Structure 1
Amino acid sequence: MAASSTTYITCDRLAFSWPDGTSLFDGLDLAVGPGRTGLIGLNGTGKSTLLKLIAGELAPVSGTVRVAGEIGHLPQNLTLDTGRRVDQVLGVDRIRAALHAIEAGDPDEAHFAVVGDDWDIEERTRATLDQLGLDGIGLDRTVGEVSGGETVLLRLAALLLRRPDVLLLDEPTNNLDLRARRRLYAAVSAWQGVLVVVSHDRELLERVDQIADLRAGGVRWFGGTLSAYEAALAVEQEAAGRMVRVAEADVRRQKRELIEAHDKLAGRARFARKAYENKREPRIVMNARKRAAQESAGKHRLMHEERLAAARERLAEAEEAVRDDDEIRVDLPRTEVPPRRQVLSLRAAELRYGARAALEVRGPERIALTGRNGAGKSTLLRTVAGELAPVAGEVTAHVPLRYLPQRLDILDESLSVLDNVRRLAPGTDQQTIRAQLARFLFRKERPDQAVATLSGGERFRASLAALMLAEPAPQLLLLDEPTNNLDLASVRRLTSALAAYRGALVVASHDLPFLRGLGITRWLVLDGDLAESEPL
């Protein structure tokens, strides 16, 4: 619906901490008006938490959140009861039931009260589903019969049917195939209210009006799309780099001047000692000169030390302005697969829900698995991982494998990151695990943090670390939509990390830029049968 001038979001001096005392925000100020805002930032900076605070799903420690208008929130980790019907998820089940009762001749006034002005609810519902490409889904079907991507679109359809003034979307393209993503792009482009979207999807972020960069507990605003933001940031970072080089040169100069000052003062001290020993002048005069020289030397030394300290402070400030995002490292030797070694065999395999697959994987191949939502990609990966048995045929893994599912449910949320890894690698000592976790950017006290407090991207890194450090080390890695919930920097990290992985790789993903960065050796499409496809 169209936004009025009174539709807005404001956060005033917002503070929030997790139950373990970890502080996320301390005095955050934010104001968002009508238009499409892309909220970006590194994983762990609190993007999802901020949306939950705005939606009223979390309470701040202090500060206030004000929202004018009704809120609709699509969370990042969407869990729906698989037994619920589609019309229940959409929130139209009671109205449909009342309409059907009236059409059947029941004159009960309660039915008319439920319907209200929504006599066209079924037509509007089907039009909304059609808009999102869900025209084939019946309202009486259950959630368990639809794919993960269709589930996300169903929840979005429910929000659109409510016509909220403020729409909060957290990684809405997760699990969506290319066709569904285009439908969502169109819905976002047509939105006229207040919209805040957290996403790593570059195409989606090219459809926003402004970028809000959440970093170090504060927000910086950039007008325009993601491309405009990156261009502005590149200019800023180039200038920051120049300032670092200038500051480094200043520190070196101040160090030289301090050394030269020390040498000069030492020379004066030697001259003074010789003069005193030779008694060229009366003692009282020499003592007075000695005191004056010491005072002058002290002031001179202090001046240069202060200049050096100031130069170092300027260098620290300049370095702080330069963004230096560490990279994940998963180049673990034990994962290496020799060329031509047999890794995986699928022989006349028939999967649940009717998909069929025949496949031979040898050596460190990198396979991209694509296909529409509901085609059975996750089912195929789960079958290879041994979670599901094939209906017919054979599925054999010839090397140790690990499977990272979409929902990242391999971790025990009540345990720390460290304890989760220890659970999968009981024979490895704690110090070795900590050293290895540092490769996944869990350093210092971070391995001791409870999994329940991690952001989506941190949870992914913890899950990947647990899989890669488990015993035996995986020589076949199965990833299902791995870029879900990752920020842009984390996607870059993951891409470089997987490029260094020495084992075989099968990745189901709709994120084409990510797949292209992995050095894919084979592209497969699942659409009833598993078949080779041209690179996308």
Structure 2
Amino acid sequence: MAQPTTSVLCTDLGFEWPDGTRVLDGFHLAVGPGRTGLIGLNGAGKSTLLRLIAGELTPAGGTVRVGGELGYLPQGLTLDTTLRVDEALGIRAAREALHAIESGDSDERHFDAVGEDWDVEERARATLDRLGLARLGLDRTTGELSGGEAVLLRLAALLLRRPDVLLLDEPTNNLDLAARERLYETVAGWSGVMLIVSHDRELLQHVDQIADLRDGAVTWYGGNFADYERAVAAQQESAERLVRAAEAEVQRQQRDLIDARTRQERSASYGKKRSICRHDPKIVSGKLKRQGQETAGRLQGLHTERLDEARQRLTNAEEAVRDDAEIRIDLPRTAVPAGRTVLSLDAVRLAYGGTVSLELRGPERIALVGRNGAGKSTLLRTIAGELRPLAGEIGTPVPLRHLPQRLDVLDDSLSVAGNVRAFAPAAGENAIRARLARFLFRGARADQLAATLSGGERFRAALAALLLADPPPQLLMLDEPTNNLDLASVRQLTQALAAYQGALIVASHDLPFLRGLGITRWLELDGGLRAVDPM
């Protein structure tokens, strides 16, 4: 896609990790004005690319050029909890100088510190208010902030700097629904250059173009994520038609080659019989035989060449079809009868939250929503037996499994197959590998150490270990399962959960994902549990 001007330019960029894993090689990217959504499969190099642009990583080759001041919001952000809010915003020196001037101190150093930013406090408070952080006083420390609030505070600091180019890496991870809405508004109102790595489909509705990083190169699509999906669907439909046409052409060329060989064999047999009947001299019959063989060779070569060309066209057509493989599993042993009690909570007082009561029957699907810090993770961990309740009774009459945000159910020293074996020790090796193949761990991939898996692979392996456990879970609890998953992995997770026949509780802020799960009840945790309308 042609850009009117270029604000970020990567030329012939190369990068590899110390272990020799190559991420980018001869990579080119030109980003111009507007908001660009950078998408791609886990492991494609999206976050690595942002770190290269931000100067946090040094390329092995090539160049990165950024036009103007750059701001960068990384994943996994942590703040020093001893910082004051104005320090985290980067305005403490300017504030102190401004206060000194207001108190009558006319030292030139104070004027230099303030510069042209005389309204810094007003702008800071307005920015915090816009991001839902109005309760934060500029003199308070950041120790009381949740993970989501820390992300928003860092974003506020970037907005105050007014950078020419803003890089955001999975900015909605750990944000509750209200915070996400504020971030969406901020992105929609951004007038500079913005490059966003995200799997959040609603966030990607606010971009001007999509850059799809695949196989070490970027393909550009104009419009937002919905426009991208329509364009890709049309491309895939056309690519699949070409595959079908190429397959038919290969079959036709194969038939033509067989028919040509059959005709030539018949012709050669007929010529030999005719030569015998005519009593042709050996020199004549030999010449006729050689001529026939030469003709047959030319014809066979022609048909073989046409077949090879048809096969190449088929290969090219197949390469144009995306291989975002789908999970295909069957989990009948997870089924729960409609009236069976799966979970009961009787006035359970949580260690870090309120008091909750709940009865769950049959294969219900619960969406657990609520603000950051409301205690959703605490509730799931308490049900799973990882935390003790302060009071109340918990009944879990069916096998249950809990997949936390940290994905720490896997043993990093074991292979993918070894982890599944640990959850299902009675299962045979062939059975384990056959089941893992349906989770896209085929052949040698099942022997890969858990410690070496990408984020999406690790999630798939953890989900496989839990769903293939013995006994299989009839209650499955997932805590923010789509964090750090690419769009293909989210689709694969949705497919896996469609095959799951037990009860499901999912804590998530990802509304499109929740809507795709067939949720039967939406519950909000805020001191207690209350039913809310579908979102």
TM above 0.5, one fold?
yes
Amino acid of the structure 1 residue aligned with 2:339: R
Structure 1 residue aligned with 2:213: 214
Number of residue pairs matched? 532
Amino acid of the structure 2 residue aligned with 1:206: Q
Deviation at 1:239, TM superposition (A): 1.9
> Is the contact made by 1:70 and 1:166 (CA closer than 8 Å) also made in structure 2?
yes
Amino acid of the structure 1 residue aligned with 2:350: L
Measure, in 1, the Cα distance between the counterparts of 2:55 and 2:332.
47
Measure, in 1, the Cα distance between the counterparts of 2:92 and 2:146.
21
Deviation at 1:43, TM superposition (A): 2.5
Structure 2 residue aligned with 1:199: 198
Q: Which moved more, 1:106-115 or 1:440-449?
A: 106-115
Structure 1 residue aligned with 2:528: 529
Query: 5 Å matches for 1:105-124?
Result: 120-124=119-123
CA spacing shift, 1:488–1:117, aligned 2, 3 Å: same
CA spacing shift, 1:42–1:345, aligned 2, 3 Å: same
Asked if 1:166 is matched to 2:158, the reply is: no
Structure 2 residue aligned with 1:32: 31
Measure, in 1, the Cα distance between the counterparts of 2:284 and 2:510.
84
Query: 5 Å matches for 1:486-497?
Result: 486-497=485-496
Structure 2 residue aligned with 1:367: 366
> Is the contact made by 1:276 and 1:286 (CA closer than 8 Å) also made in structure 2?
yes
Structure 2 residue aligned with 1:134: 133
Deviation at 1:434, TM superposition (A): 4.0
Structure 2 residue aligned with 1:511: 510
Deviation at 1:120, TM superposition (A): 4.3
Structure 2 residue aligned with 1:9: 8
> Is the contact made by 1:330 and 1:498 (CA closer than 8 Å) also made in structure 2?
no
Measure, in 2, the Cα distance between the counterparts of 1:353 and 1:105.
48
Structure 1 residue aligned with 2:481: 482
Structure 1 residue aligned with 2:456: 457
Amino acid of the structure 2 residue aligned with 1:260: D
CA spacing shift, 1:246–1:343, aligned 2, 3 Å: same
Measure, in 2, the Cα distance between the counterparts of 1:152 and 1:143.
12
Render the CA deviation track for 1:337-388: whole Å, top value 9, x for unaligned. 3433322221112224442211011222211112233332222222223333
Amino acid of the structure 2 residue aligned with 1:203: E
Amino acid of the structure 2 residue aligned with 1:160: L
> Is the contact made by 1:7 and 1:194 (CA closer than 8 Å) also made in structure 2?
no
Deviation at 1:245, TM superposition (A): 1.9
Deviation at 1:393, TM superposition (A): 2.0
Q: Which moved more, 1:89-98 or 1:460-469?
A: 89-98
Structure 2: gaps (5+ residues): none
> Is the contact made by 2:345 and 2:359 (CA closer than 8 Å) also made in structure 1?
yes
CA spacing shift, 1:305–1:363, aligned 2, 3 Å: same
Deviation at 1:509, TM superposition (A): 1.8
Measure, in 1, the Cα distance between the counterparts of 2:283 and 2:141.
104
> Is the contact made by 1:7 and 1:166 (CA closer than 8 Å) also made in structure 2?
no
User: Secondary structure of the equivalent of 1:206?
Assistant: helix
> Is the contact made by 1:205 and 1:225 (CA closer than 8 Å) also made in structure 2?
yes
Amino acid of the structure 2 residue aligned with 1:269: A
Aligned CA-pair RMSD: 3.1
Amino acid of the structure 1 residue aligned with 2:477: L
Query: 5 Å matches for 1:282-321?
Result: 282-321=281-320
Amino acid of the structure 2 residue aligned with 1:268: S
> Is the contact made by 1:478 and 1:507 (CA closer than 8 Å) also made in structure 2?
yes
Deviation at 1:518, TM superposition (A): 1.0
CA spacing shift, 1:411–1:247, aligned 2, 3 Å: same
Query: 5 Å matches for 1:114-513?
Result: 120-139=119-138, 143=142, 145-411=144-410, 417-418=416-417, 420-421=419-420, 432-449=431-448, 454-470=453-469, 472-513=471-512
Measure, in 1, the Cα distance between the counterparts of 2:35 and 2:178.
22
Deviation at 1:428, TM superposition (A): 5.6
Structure 2 residue aligned with 1:73: 72
> Is the contact made by 1:74 and 1:170 (CA closer than 8 Å) also made in structure 2?
yes
Deviation at 1:292, TM superposition (A): 0.6
Deviation at 1:304, TM superposition (A): 0.7
TM (norm. structure 2) is 0.89
CA spacing shift, 1:424–1:129, aligned 2, 3 Å: farther
Render the CA deviation track for 1:229-255: whole Å, top value 9, x for unaligned. 222222222222221122122111111
Amino acid of the structure 2 residue aligned with 1:38: G
> Is the contact made by 1:371 and 1:527 (CA closer than 8 Å) also made in structure 2?
yes
User: Secondary structure of the equivalent of 1:523?
Assistant: strand
Structure 1: gaps (5+ residues): none
Structure 1 residue aligned with 2:21: 22
CA spacing shift, 1:333–1:142, aligned 2, 3 Å: farther
Q: Which moved more, 1:141-150 or 1:392-401?
A: 141-150
> Is the contact made by 1:481 and 1:508 (CA closer than 8 Å) also made in structure 2?
yes
CA spacing shift, 1:449–1:97, aligned 2, 3 Å: farther
Measure, in 1, the Cα distance between the counterparts of 2:412 and 2:215.
25
Measure, in 2, the Cα distance between the counterparts of 1:382 and 1:308.
61
> Is the contact made by 2:5 and 2:33 (CA closer than 8 Å) also made in structure 1?
no
Render the CA deviation track for 1:139-164: whole Å, top value 9, x for unaligned. 45555533333232222222222322
Identity level (%): 67
User: Secondary structure of the equivalent of 2:267?
Assistant: helix
